[in-house]
């Protein structure tokens, strides 16, 4: 009997389902060895209670919407455009900023240093590409008191991530146990409040929850506090559908070796997504990302480009160096942008933060804020210049991937290379950020 063509429709811990069959099948060792994912084409043959399955052909398959779907990174249910990148280099929507010098982080660790600066930073955030902010339980754009918001936790997480790189601090956002084991020892999360890295002294530390330790070492609340970023006016949202799978970082997956780890088996660094040129102008988003009821698709709401959010950052007892790093990490340099929210791989969430004012407490903490004068904060320019002029490799990698104009070219609305392009680089890993020409 000739083998039939199908696609993987669903995979869970013990079973998988094909789009051409009504029942599910038990995952076997052979199935695991194929490293298949949802959307991949396969060939199969059913013999009684058993199924014989093989990887499908690498030819482009057509889905019900007529959109091209091809192998790895495909299956988005949307029309595709040709990737015009220089395919002499392997290009993907994300890359990794290296961790930096292990000796530098160890030298910087120490007790909390109380400084003289308390106050608040008044900021605006403009989404230069479409943005989608949701919770785990809802696909709707987050609202608070009938206003669309970017939660304080999202703002803090993004800014902390950048401060960690600038100051060669520990890496906090890895929750997978097998990935945690691949972090170089000195970059593992701080676990002693008397021996904290720069970022933990600034933003706080909940200890290293990947390892057991005494409660007394577990928590320090930090001295920087974000408000939610809020849009003051009513805006319309768009409802779109994407394939928003989690990162393919299971132990033993080919993607782990190809993207996430070095040849020595250590993590490559902190993950960032490239900004994508096409998204900075108006697009037919509802046509390019049409709503879909397929189980593999996620339907979310988003806000189109160029809307302004407002937020504040309160700080307590910072040193001059800490305040300078915080301001630089918020506003960045001209031409560098942040990323927030979902669908970053598609170019969503590129945002510009502007510092509108820095206000310092006067002598009585509970009196009103007073606006800082140029003389009060001129030292910030000198501190920011240290990072603007830095020659450190990992800081230059950060600037390259945060740049609005970059040296990669990703397809729209499908940013992932197709199967044929990936096969061209079979056995190779992503180039480092600064290797793109």
Each residue's pLDDT expressed in tens, for the chain with a length of 437 residues: 578 888 888 887 778 888 888 888 888 878 877 878 777 888 888 887 788 888 876 443 333 333 332 222 333 333 333 334 445 788 899 999 999 998 899 888 999 989 999 999 999 999 999 999 987 777 899 999 999 999 999 999 999 999 999 999 999 878 788 888 899 999 999 988 889 999 999 999 877 766 765 444 567 889 999 999 999 888 999 999 998 766 656 766 677 777 888 888 899 999 999 999 999 999 999 999 999 988 888 899 999 999 999 999 999 999 999 999 999 999 999 999 999 999 999 999 999 999 999 998 866 554 455 555 555 678 888 899 999 999 999 999 999 999 999 989 898 998 988 777 777 887 788 899 999 87
Residue 296's Cα: distance from chain center in Å?
Answer: 21
**Pairing relation of β-strands 94-97 and 270-273?**
antiparallel
pTM: 0.77
Q: Distance between CA 259 and CA 176 in Å, rounded?
A: 15
Judge contact between 240 and 291, C-beta under 8 A.
Answer: yes
Q: Which helix (H) or strand (E) holds 240?
A: strand 238-242
Strands (DSSP E) found in 90-139: 94-97, 117-127
- 336 bridge partner residues: 403
Q: Distance between CA 294 and CA 359 in Å, rounded?
A: 50
Q: Distance between CA 430 and CA 415 in Å, rounded?
A: 15
Judge contact between 108 and 168, C-beta under 8 A.
Answer: yes
Residue 218, both tokens: 């577990």
Cα angle 254-258-261, degrees, rounded to a multiple of 5: 105
Residue 7's Cα: distance from chain center in Å?
Answer: 28
pLDDT number for residue 59? 41
Q: Where are the alpha helices (DSSP H) in 268-415?
A: 285-288, 320-331, 374-377, 379-388, 393-402
pLDDT number for residue 409? 86
pLDDT number for residue 63? 37
Residue 321, both tokens: 């160096």
User: What are the C-alpha distances in Å from 24 to residues 17, 37, 40, 63?
Assistant: 5, 15, 16, 21
**Nearest alpha carbon to residue 117 among 344, 416, 383:** 383
């Amino acid at each position: 009997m000739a083998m039939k063509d199908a696609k993987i429709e669903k995979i869970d811990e013990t079973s998988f389902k094909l789009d051409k069959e009504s029942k599910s099948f038990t995952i076997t060792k052979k199935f695991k060895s194929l490293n298949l994912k949802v959307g991949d084409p396969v060939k199969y043959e059913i013999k009684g209670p058993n199924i014989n399955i093989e990887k499908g052909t690498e030819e482009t398959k057509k889905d019900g919407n007529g959109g091209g779907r091809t192998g790895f990174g495909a299956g988005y249910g949307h029309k595709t455009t040709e990737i015009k990148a220089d395919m002499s280099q392997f290009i993907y929507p994300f890359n990794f900023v290296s961790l930096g010098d292990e000796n530098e982080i160890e030298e910087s660790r120490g007790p909390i240093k109380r400084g003289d600066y308390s106050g608040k930073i008044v900021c605006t955030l403009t989404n230069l590409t479409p943005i989608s902010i949701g919770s785990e339980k809802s696909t709707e754009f987050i609202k608070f008191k009938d206003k669309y918001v970017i939660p304080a936790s999202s703002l803090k997480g993004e800014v902390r991530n950048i401060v960690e790189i600038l100051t060669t601090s520990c890496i906090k956002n890895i929750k997978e146990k097998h990935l945690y084991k691949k972090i170089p020892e000195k970059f593992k999360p701080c676990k002693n409040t008397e021996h904290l890295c720069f970022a933990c002294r600034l933003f706080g530390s909940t200890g290293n929850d990947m390892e057991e330790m005494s409660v007394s070492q577990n928590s320090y609340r930090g001295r920087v506090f974000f408000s939610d970023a809020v849009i003051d006016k009513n805006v319309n949202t768009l409802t779109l559908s994407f394939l928003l799978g989690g990162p393919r970082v299971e132990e033993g997956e080919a993607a782990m070796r190809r993207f996430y780890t070095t040849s020595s088996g250590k993590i490559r660094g902190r993950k960032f997504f490239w900004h994508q040129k096409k998204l900075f102008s108006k697009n037919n988003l509802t046509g390019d990302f049409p709503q879909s009821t397929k189980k593999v698709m996620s339907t979310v709401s988003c806000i189109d480009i160029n809307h302004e959010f407002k937020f504040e950052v309160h700080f307590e007892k910072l040193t001059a160096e800490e305040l300078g790093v915080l301001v630089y990490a918020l506003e960045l340099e001209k031409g560098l942008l942040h990323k927030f929210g979902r669908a970053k791989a598609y170019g969503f969430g590129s945002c510009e933060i502007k510092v509108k004012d820095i206000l310092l407490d006067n002598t009585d903490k509970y009196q009103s804020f007073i606006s800082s004068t140029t003389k009060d904060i001129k030292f910030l320019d000198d501190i920011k210049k240290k990072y603007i002029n830095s020659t450190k490799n990992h800081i230059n990698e950060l600037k390259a991937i945060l740049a609005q104009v970059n040296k990669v070219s990703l397809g729209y609305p499908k940013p992932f290379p197709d199967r044929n392009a990936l096969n061209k680089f079979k056995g190779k890993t992503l180039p480092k950020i600064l290797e793109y020409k």
